[in-house]
Structure 1
Amino acid sequence: MDQNLGKILVIDDNEDVLFSAKMLLKKHASEVIMEKNPKKIPFLVSNGDFDIILLDMNFTQDITSGQEGFYWLKEILKYDPSAVVVMITAFGDVEMAVRALKEGATDFVLKPWQNEKLLATLSSASKLRNSYKEVHQLKEVNKSLCAELNAPQSIITGQSPAMRNLFSIIDKVAKTDADILLLGENGTGKEVIARTIHQRSSRADKVFVTVDMGAVTESLFESELFGHKKGAFTDAKEDRIGRIEAANGGTLFLDEIGNLSLAMQAKLLTVLQRREVIRVGTNKPIPVNIRLISATNMLLKEMVQRHEFRQDLLYRINTVELNLPPLRERLDDIPLFAEHFLESYSQKYKQPLKVLSDNALQKLKRYNWPGNVRELQHVLERASIMSDNSELQADDFFFISETQPEAKPAQVDSQKLDDLERDAVQRVLQKYDGNISKAAKELGLSRGALYRRLEKYAL
């Protein structure tokens, strides 16, 4: 038998049985742990990820009834409900076997056992354990997929030279597994670009998992990204797969990666270098095969010089670097966005399709768009709801102020970028009288990310 049975725990108070089991199983298992004292079961099961547990039904305190075995079976399943437990006893009968199976055992063997029969039983048990793992992982991946499918979708479009150049690069890199770093202001469509790259890659039929790093607190970082085992900490009421593991085989999109602390950067770098995760509360590395796409509106190279971002992590995540132009540098793309968004709002609100008049379009082109495409999307949604006309006029956009084209900067340095973001945050806060939830929604930020910006700009 060449099959690897995984990690096996054998619990029996008879040293001869333990020795025989180890001599037989060490050729077929990745690891065999032997234990005489059943009182150590809670510690062993809660700290080790066992594929199969061989449990004696009778210990010295109770030689023939099997009651101790049933007690410890319940304890094992309490710590790990998906544990695969094979009961062993020299005094088994059909009634005891049936009871063991009813109480959660996977199978039942008599000792002294026949080696081939025992190995065949454990082989079946190993397959069952693997199926449990696959079902659990599929459930977790399904949760991620549902979240992704329910996320608001946008489009990638444009005829401007900057966008045509960007499309050309995307066509080249999408077919590879190269790690990509997307740079650009808030609202420029970094997640849309990431999804587009995924859809044009060889992983298109696999999962696309997003993580807003700006919303992940340091205390929950490892649990959220790497997963955890039940009981690893106070609120860990069940085993949970991490976001990185959920993306196995597909694409992992780490948004706002510039917000990570140096401690979190170090942990992330280790995972990316080894391409394996270790769930909180375990010591077992889990291999992962992911395509990484990261994004930020921050100037990481300047952060490296200020020792705020690890240079080795920057090298790791930006095999290819893509810069997304702000909307004010691609104003000719506004009609394309308007056509798409107005059509989607017509369907969403079950109203006649609305179009932009020439004077409305000119007004939109004179606006500076600090919130970029995301702000344009919200502006068009509001106008389409409030206007009774089939053709939107300039007056339907009374809530935006016009700026002259010559006032737009050709290139925005870090200080000007901060000023633009501060002004946008302040303007939206005033609009909603300080309501954090509404302001965060309009800005396309999580509440946590908005709070960090309020603290950063002393608002």
Structure 2
Amino acid sequence: MAKSKGNILIVDDDDMILLSAQLLLEQYYTEVRKINNPIQIEEAFKEHAFDLVLLDMNFKQGETSGEEGLQWLERIKELSPSTNVLLMTAYGEVDIAVEAMKKGAIDFIVKPWQNEKLIVTVQNALKLTSQEKRVKQLEVREQAISSNIDNEYREMIGSSAAMKGIQNMISKVAPTDADVLILGENGTGKEVAARALHKKSSRAKEIFIAVDLGTIPEHLFESELFGHKKGAFTDAKEERIGRFEAASGGTIFLDEIGNIPLHLQSKLLTVLQRRQITKVGDNTPTDIDVRVICATNMNLQEAVNNGDFREDLLYRINTVEIDLPSLKERIEDTPELVDHFLKKYEKKYHKNTLSISKEAIGALKKHSWPGNIRELQHAVERAAILADHDVLNANDFAFLRRTENSSSEFDNFNLENIEAWAIKNAIKKHSGNISHAAKELGLSRGAMYRRMEKYGL
């Protein structure tokens, strides 16, 4: 008979009780531990994460008040709120056990017990523990879905040779669970490619969670990604599961992976190698089952050579590399992309059916598109909003010409143009390293990303 997964701790001062309960439960569950002194409870929780504790109510000879049991029940719930407690009590202590249930115990079993009764009670308690964990996981997933509500799955658009090659590679790689590294300039559609990989995989019906690593403060990195226990730090008022655990069963997309500080890269590497996370404030790892897709606009090999990125982490994340072309390298896809965006914005802004003239398409093909598809999308959105006619023409995109080169950007010393130029050139100077570019500009990474989004960079 295959054992069910479950980590159980038995606490009783009677060694015979401990042994008999352990021998019985070990037939059904993977991990069963015992201690004969409640003082050892805290040490036990430092070493292991328990799904269920079987706790005696009295530990002193002749004691029947149950006060010790109540105190240790409270302590267990402080140490691990998600751990359920099943009380073991004598016949005359049932009233005390009922009182303890009001303070957080899940159920009680009367000693001496019937083996069948104990097995059923433990089974029900572990089932409830599993359901409670699932609810927490779903809450985090719901938050992730809400935060990405505008990032619905989109097909990879384009019939150019470059895009056909990308689509072909995605079709080959998606059915596997291989770790994928997506490379490309800002705005080339790295998240769209990641979602396409997920949609075509065996995990398509499970969650896809996107994490922008560049916007997570260093001091919250482990908590956000791996979760934390209650009391792990000042603001940890309750236990929280991280993005990796929330994504278990599905896909996690780690964008801007090149911006992780070196001292945190080892922690991520350990998680990717072992497929286990350890929450902040906990010592016991939790298994995870995720497909990992990473993305960056940086040259990671150059970062490795400069000592800014771990070589072993690079090897771990790039089992397969997908290098997305810039818009200039697939400029023939412009009409398809524009048509897609027009359909989106005519619906969003309640416009009549919108189209674009050949003259306008010709003008768009001549633009340098430093912000790639994201810049094109913003340009189409702006034109769709401001146009008074249903067919967009070249004049509707005249604003692009004013930012085509640095000299024209400063003709009227427009502050937005100057800021866009500074950000663009800082990124170029630091070879796409957003953290370094933001530092030189005196901006936080979050502020940097907001400005990049604003200017389509």
Q: TM-score range by the shorter chain?
A: 0.7 to 0.9
* CA–CA separation in structure 1 for the residues paired with 2:178 and 2:157: 23
TM-score by length of 1: 0.83
Aligned length: 430
Q: Tell me by how many angstroms 1:369 deviates.
A: 0.6
What SS does the aligned partner of 2:399 have?
coil
- Aligned ranges 1:103-182 → 2 under 5 Å: 103-151=103-151, 155-182=155-182
* CA–CA separation in structure 1 for the residues paired with 2:119 and 2:84: 15
Q: Tell me by how many angstroms 1:265 deviates.
A: 1.7
* Alpha-carbon RMSD: 3.4
* CA–CA separation in structure 1 for the residues paired with 2:14 and 2:414: 71
Q: Which residue of 1 aligns with 2:416?
A: 431
Could you list the per-position Cα deviations for residues 59-80 of structure 1 after superposition, in whole angstroms to 9, with x for gaps in the alignment?
4398223344334334433444
Q: Which residue of 1 aligns with 2:232?
A: 232
Partners of 2:9 and 2:54 within 8 A in 1 = yes
Q: Which residue of 2 aligns with 1:193?
A: 193
Matched to 2:192, the amino acid is V
Structure 1 residues 346 and 328, CA, compared in 2 at 3 Å: closer, same or farther?
A: same
Q: Tell me by how many angstroms 1:276 deviates.
A: 1.6
Could you list the per-position Cα deviations for residues 77-98 of structure 1 after superposition, in whole angstroms to 9, with x for gaps in the alignment?
3444433211122253554444
Partners of 2:203 and 2:250 within 8 A in 1 = yes
Question: Please, which runs of 5 or more residues in structure 1 have no aligned partner?
Answer: 408-419, 444-448
- Aligned ranges 1:411-426 → 2 under 5 Å: none
Q: Which residue of 2 aligns with 1:252?
A: 252
Structure 1 residues 47 and 237, CA, compared in 2 at 3 Å: closer, same or farther?
A: farther
* CA–CA separation in structure 2 for the residues paired with 1:216 and 1:3: 40
Partners of 1:368 and 1:402 within 8 A in 2 = no
* CA–CA separation in structure 1 for the residues paired with 2:22 and 2:203: 42
Q: Which residue of 2 aligns with 1:9?
A: 9
Q: Tell me by how many angstroms 1:187 deviates.
A: 0.2
- Aligned ranges 1:44-443 → 2 under 5 Å: 48-60=48-60, 63-92=63-92, 95-151=95-151, 155-401=155-401, 430-431=415-416
Matched to 2:273, the amino acid is Q
What SS does the aligned partner of 2:133 have?
helix
Partners of 1:214 and 1:256 within 8 A in 2 = yes
Q: Tell me by how many angstroms 1:195 deviates.
A: 0.6
Could you list the per-position Cα deviations for residues 276-308 of structure 1 after superposition, in whole angstroms to 9, with x for gaps in the alignment?
222222222222222221111111122222222
Structure 1 residues 431 and 333, CA, compared in 2 at 3 Å: closer, same or farther?
A: same
What SS does the aligned partner of 1:31 have?
strand
Q: Tell me by how many angstroms 1:154 deviates.
A: 5.2
Q: Tell me by how many angstroms 1:330 deviates.
A: 1.8
Question: Please, which runs of 5 or more residues in structure 2 have no aligned partner?
Answer: 428-432, 444-457
Q: Which residue of 2 aligns with 1:411?
A: none
* CA–CA separation in structure 1 for the residues paired with 2:237 and 2:221: 17
- Aligned ranges 1:13-24 → 2 under 5 Å: 13-14=13-14, 17-18=17-18, 20-22=20-22, 24=24
Structure 1 residues 5 and 358, CA, compared in 2 at 3 Å: closer, same or farther?
A: closer
Structure 1 residues 136 and 304, CA, compared in 2 at 3 Å: closer, same or farther?
A: same
Which piece of structure 1 moves more, 26-35 or 51-60?
26-35
